[in-house]
Structure 1
Amino acid sequence: MSTDNKEAELALTDQVVASFANTRDERLRTLMQSLVRHMHAFVREVEPTEAEWMTAIRFLTDTGKMCDDLVRQEFILLSDTLGVSMLVDAINHRYATGATDTTVFGPFYIRGMPERAYGENMAFSPGTPALVHGRVLSTDGTPVVDAVLDVWQTAENGMYSGQDTAQPHGNLRGRFRTDAEGRYAISTIVPVSYPIPTDGPVGRMLDATGRHPWRPAHLHFMIDAPGHRTLVTHLFDENDRYLNSDAVFGVKPSLMVAYRERAADHELGRRFGFKGPFREAHYDFALDRS
């Protein structure tokens, strides 16, 4: 490459960066100018052909077409599988506070799911019965009363209700509240590992790069309580085979739990109405004060 061509390329970057100089919002100006610098640096590094660049544009176009307002957000899936979601999570939770670790939100959350009673069963499809219970506490150990735990997981076929229209509305989803001692209890089924959707551009990307699409078994939580920061996290089955190769890089050791076998006549089985053997997982969440 001639010196003149290189200088022209660098001058183009400077020109585009300067075009945002009058952006009134300082943070937006910083974001846009940094984005231009990094994108131009990437292009100069890899020197894509025009055909390759058009393939990238079509990939992003197809990603947008796979998104909807209800249950499918392919751009979140793309962010997850590139590790960007977890990097953003890490940057926003850099300082140890004693609160429960966060992880990715995921693309299949649905607002407005049913309010459920303490210990209510949220599973309307087959699976191994399970009780997930524990407490929600402030980082100083104080019980958090009336915290809302918005919970969701896949069925045994590896799909979420809403994503899988054959499942009943609200299956394996619900909003639970803590009692006066900060306790919560959820009757459900043991979660299973499952592949993220591969019928769109993210799936094509994973296939082309030799990566598997599997996530380890987990239960999603979004926990809200007055005077506390919202917690978005998972609980992972500590025996899952994909813990060390999660397709979205979301596993943290502190979020692993054991699903222990219990007989129907176990004290918890009698208390929560299990008719046969079940699994028990116990976990205490800690919330940061806002």
Structure 2
Amino acid sequence: MTRTEQSPTAAGSGASATQAFRASQPQGTAESTSPERVSAVVKALLDGVHEAIRTEQVTYTEFQAAKQWLIEVGEGGEWPLLLDVFVEHAVEDVASRTQRGSKGSILGPYYLPDQAKLPAEATLPMRPDEKGTPLVFAGQVRDAAGRPVSGAELDLWHADDEGYYSGFAPHLPEGNLRGVVTADEQGRFEVITIQPAPYQIPTDGPTGKLLEAAGWHPWRPAHLHLIVRAPEHRPITTQLYFEGGQWLDSDVAGATKPELVLNPQPHGDGWLRSEYDFVLEPEN
């Protein structure tokens, strides 16, 4: 199978991301938003669009091109990709202003729920011949007072050594490099996996067309995704990056933060080890 055949398409990734998003949303989320709040947010959004049109003196030709592109985004199922790459980091930044504990980051479009349950010391599910530098990822989950959070869960997933995610690339087995790790009584965990590669978002659809037209690159730096959760605590959704990694300073999704950069150290025989502790605040 060639790399082109392995590569996830924008439409395929969008369909998978849409399905996962719908499955994870509680019923009645939209209905719980008041008309006043809808009016305020939508008006502010439209005011911003109108101001950009006036400032940049957008022509009718450009407006029609934008309309056609938005239609293609919808028809191609790329709204999850587009919103997660270009918008979510701003929403996360606003949310973080009222939160204590560990730094968060975007969820992104490649989360899949209900993965394999694993003990505190575990190896993520992977192929017998999984390529990549072996990585030990370890740490502790504590509460805001510094006490260990017994039995905290770490929902962990990441790309493989070629930048592909299971569930979004046809050649990868289901659940590859995904798992839910349960920390021990002291909130500690130690996970064996591989160091992921940077990857480019799918560029064969309208999102890729926008990147090309704007002269922007499509790359994200290598990272681990995590949702860290425990009863009576606010869950943390975050991403951890790697010091010196390519695209770290120009992430297309704008999601990197200095506090989220790991510094893996040699761990013998070609392995790396990195430690990172999480702090969960009480749930409101």
| Common fold: TM-score over 0.5 | yes
Q: Distance in 1 between matches of 2:113 and 2:254?
A: 25
Residue 277 of structure 2 corresponds to: 284
Alignment equivalent of 2:108, drawn from 100, 103, 106: 106
Gaps of 5+ in 1: 1-22, 68-73, 264-275
The C-alpha deviation readout for 1:126-181, integer Å capped at 9, x for no partner, is 22111101001112111111111111100111110111111111001111111100
The C-alpha deviation readout for 1:28-65, integer Å capped at 9, x for no partner, is 22223333333333333334333322221221222223
The C-alpha deviation readout for 1:72-114, integer Å capped at 9, x for no partner, is xx324323443x32211111111463x1111111111111111
CA 65–157 in structure 1, closer or farther in 2 if over 3 Å, else same: farther
Residue 119 of structure 2 corresponds to: 117
Gaps of 5+ in 2: 1-32
Alignment equivalent of 1:205, drawn from 204, 210, 223: 210
Identity %: 35
**Large movers: runs of 4+ above 6 Å:** none
Q: Distance in 1 between matches of 2:263 and 2:76?
A: 35
Q: Which amino acid aligns with 1:172?
A: L
CA 169–57 in structure 1, closer or farther in 2 if over 3 Å, else same: same
The C-alpha deviation readout for 1:234-276, integer Å capped at 9, x for no partner, is 111112022111111111111111221112xxxxxxxxxxxx5
- Report whether the alignment pairs 1:94 with 2:104: no
CA contact (8 A) 1:80 1:249 kept: no
TM-score (norm 2): 0.81
Q: Which amino acid aligns with 1:110?
A: L
Alignment equivalent of 1:26, drawn from 8, 25, 36: 36
The more displaced of 146-155 and 24-33 is 24-33
User: How many residues get paired?
Assistant: 248
Q: Distance in 2 between matches of 1:289 and 1:96?
A: 10
- Report whether the alignment pairs 1:61 with 2:61: no
Whose RCO is larger (CA < 8 A, sep 6+)? Answer: 2
Q: Distance in 2 between matches of 1:134 and 1:232?
A: 16
